[in-house]
């Protein structure tokens, strides 16, 4: 049984990864849009860190006052958030086309269906992280934490992709609608902007600072950003990995509950 379940999971995972690869319209925007946004932000706000250092003697954007280094993690996170919805959209498409119903009538393990679909999201998130690392390195960004710090980034990205992909898959199972899954995009966009992704929380005020400070994405982003700006730190690395890992576990649990409910109602 264990060997059969593993074989099923591998087969469905391969199908998910191949489906995403064959649809560049799914993953290309999640690479290009964050890079375009980073370019616009750099052009508009690139001098802010130096001005703060000169006038007030503070360095909220890192010790080197390099805005491109500060944006590094924000761009990576933005790309992963956008790309992770693809797994839920593909699952909703399977439900709409009837493939999901045919699949659950076979003796395939139910967990394999979800794990296989989420594997595509996790793989896309890790690849996106590596692509962003290469592009930002080409434009002068550096990871102060070296190889150990750089390794934290794709691991955290893959776990975040699992978390967002899990929520998208739960929505797909619950609604069976591609449009409903894609409608979650604005919510992800808002969640990202109400965090420390594009601006340090120490420079925020009022309710916005309170919300951003307690946003789970802020804990993860700050942990990843520490590896880029200050150097490798085991505690910060643990935060960067454990926060999306916990969210992924909750999302996968929600998926399983939603799947069980859908199958019970058949």
Percent of the chain having pLDDT more than 90?
Answer: 36
Q: Residues 229, 149: contact at Cβ < 8 Å?
A: no
Output 194 or 122, whichever has higher pLDDT.
194
The C-alpha R_g of the chain, in whole angstroms, comes to 20
Closest CA to 161 of 5, 259, 27: 27
Q: Which domain holds residue 146?
A: 2-264
Categorize the per-residue pLDDT at 2 as very low, low, confident or very high, splitting at 50, 70 and 90: low
Q: Residues 232, 145: contact at Cβ < 8 Å?
A: yes
Q: Per residue in 119-155, pLDDT tens?
A: 878 888 888 889 999 999 998 888 999 999 999 999 9
How far is it, in rounded angstroms, from Cα 221 to Cα 155?
13
Q: Per residue in 42-74, pLDDT tens?
A: 888 888 998 998 898 999 998 988 898 999 999
Please check the confidence at residue 88 and state whether its pLDDT lies above 70.
Answer: yes
27 exposure class (CB count in 10 Å sphere: 0-12, 13-18, 19+): buried
Mean per-residue pLDDT of the chain: 87
Residue 266, pLDDT score: 64
How far is it, in rounded angstroms, from Cα 232 to Cα 155?
14
Please check the confidence at residue 3 and state whether its pLDDT lies above 70.
Answer: no
Output 87 or 203, whichever has higher pLDDT.
203
Q: Is the dihedral of CA 181, 183, 186, 187 positive or negative?
A: negative
How far is it, in rounded angstroms, from Cα 205 to Cα 154?
31
59, 81, 170, 256 from 63: Cα distances, Å: 6, 28, 41, 44
Number of domains in the chain: 1
- Provide the residue count of the chain: 266
Q: Per residue in 209-252, pLDDT tens?
A: 999 999 999 999 999 999 999 999 999 999 999 999 999 999 98
Residue 116, pLDDT score: 80
């Amino acid at each position: 049984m264990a060997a059969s379940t593993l074989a099923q999971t591998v087969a469905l995972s391969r199908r998910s990864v191949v489906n995403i690869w064959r649809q560049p319209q799914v993953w290309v925007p999640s690479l290009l849009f964050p890079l375009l946004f980073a370019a616009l932000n750099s052009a508009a706000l690139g001098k802010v860190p130096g001005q703060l250092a000169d006038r007030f003697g503070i360095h909220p954007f890192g010790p080197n006052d390099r805005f491109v280094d500060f944006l590094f993690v924000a761009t990576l996170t933005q790309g992963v958030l956008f790309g992770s919805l693809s797994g839920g959209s593909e699952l909703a498409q399977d439900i709409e086309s009837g493939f999901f119903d045919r699949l659950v009538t076979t003796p395939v393990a139910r967990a394999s269906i979800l794990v296989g679909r989420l594997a595509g999201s996790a793989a896309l998130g890790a690849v996106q992280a590596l692509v962003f690392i290469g592009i930002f390195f080409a434009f002068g960004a550096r990871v102060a934490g070296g190889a150990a710090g750089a390794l934290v980034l794709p691991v955290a990205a893959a776990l975040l992709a699992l978390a967002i992909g899990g929520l998208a898959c739960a929505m797909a199972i619950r609604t069976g609608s591609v449009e409903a899954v894609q409608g979650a995009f604005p919510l992800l966009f808002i969640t990202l902007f109400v965090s420390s992704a594009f601006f340090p929380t120490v420079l925020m005020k009022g309710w916005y600072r309170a919300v951003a400070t307690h946003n789970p994405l802020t804990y993860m982003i700050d942990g990843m950003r520490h590896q880029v700006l200050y150097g490798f730190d085991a505690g910060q690395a643990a935060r960067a990995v454990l926060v999306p890992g916990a969210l992924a576990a909750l999302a996968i649990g929600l998926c399983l509950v939603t799947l069980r409910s859908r199958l019970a109602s058949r």
